[in-house]
A = this chain, B = another copy of it.
Amino acid sequence: MCLDTMGLCMTTEANHPVRTTEKSLHLIEKLRELDGARIHELEDELEMTKGAIHNHLSTLRTHGYVVKEDNEYRLSLKVLTLGGYVRSNYSIYQFGRPKANKLASDTGMLVNLATEENGQSVYLYQARGEYAVNLDTQVGHRLRLHNIAIGKAILAYLPAERVEAIVDQWGLPKETENTITDRETLFEELESVREQEFATDLEERTEGLCCIAAPIRPDNEILGAISISAPTSRLGNQGFDDELVGQVKSTANEIALDIKYV
């Protein structure tokens, strides 16, 4: 068994896995990987016969998860629909969206709203100000927590043993010169995040990009974080602008208050 202290550990193996379901999930995963495929391609990629693949795909299709066009099967937009439902249940999304919009138009920057799942950050929403940069991040994207502002804002308010577990699971891979790659530095950084009540990213994941993030924690429970992203030239050249930091922090606080007093 796994030390599932938070009830959130995913790495547990089911001890009576439903193999047939797993086959369908592998198929879904492959369709995503290949952006759609024909049956004989899937036959090469997965250890299933074409008859079996056909049965699974037909089943997924009648339920709307897969679409077929000229013998090519693709994942349908039903997963987008489902994802929309899941997202709408996050209070941080419901209440954060309008505040993120406002922060974006006030600052002109790119604003991100994200939460943590399974030791990763998941982007729930983006709002674009007038001068917003175009980034590789999009709604639904999953990133490690150690080298982004939002991630550090979240980590700072998770119990230390949880942070350890996450680092064990995902490591601290170096992505730029500034990426934090050892635990000691990370924990010091998290301490300073707690003191300042905001986190920063000085080109730690992407060259030329800086971020400021603030945690969203009604009742001291960390639900996620909000951040602004901008080119280093505009954001972090000589220390972070106090006014901007203030705007991010107070937006986070407003969201937390809205969540608390529904």
CB of B139 within 8 A of CB of A17, answer no
Complex Cα gap A85–B32 (Å): 7
Which of B18, B36, B62 contacts A59, CB < 8 Å?
A: B18
Q: Which of A116-141 contact B (CB under 8 A)?
A: 117-118, 122, 124, 127-128, 130, 134, 138-141
Q: Which residues of B contact A262 (CB under 8 A)?
A: none
Q: Which residues of B contact A142 (CB under 8 A)?
A: 81
From known contacts A67-B8, A67-B117, A69-B7, infer whether A17 and B86 are also in contact, taking CB-CB under 8 Å. no
Task: Give the interface segment out of A20-28, A155-163, A199-207, A242-250.
Answer: A20-28
Q: Determine how many copies of this chain the complex contains.
A: 2
Which of B17, B83, B138 contacts A77, CB < 8 Å?
A: B83
CB of A87 within 8 A of CB of B82, answer no
Complex Cα gap A248–B56 (Å): 42
A65, CB-defined interface residue at 8 Å:
yes
What 1/0 mask marks residues of chain A from 93 to 120 whose CB sits below 8 Å from any chain B CB? 0000010010001000000000101100
From known contacts A83-B81, A140-B83, infer whether A64 and B18 are also in contact, taking CB-CB under 8 Å. no
Q: Which residues of B contact A86 (CB under 8 A)?
A: 32, 74-77, 79-80
- Give chain A's interface secondary structure class: mixed
Q: Which residues of B contact A124 (CB under 8 A)?
A: 77, 80
From known contacts A59-B21, A60-B21, infer whether A35 and B89 are also in contact, taking CB-CB under 8 Å. yes
Tell me, rounded to whole Å, the shortest Cβ–Cβ distance linking A118 to chain B.
Answer: 7
Q: Which of A34-88 contact B (CB under 8 A)?
A: 35-36, 54-56, 58-65, 67-70, 74-88
**Chain A interface (Cβ < 8 Å from any Cβ of B):** 7-8, 10-18, 20-25, 28, 32, 35-36, 54-56, 58-65, 67-70, 74-89, 98, 101, 105, 115, 117-118, 122, 124, 127-128, 130, 134, 138-142
Pairs across A and B, CB under 8 Å, 14 listed: A13-B62, A17-B55, A17-B62, A18-B55, A21-B24, A21-B56, A21-B59, A67-B118, A77-B124, A80-B122, A81-B122, A84-B139, A98-B134, A139-B139
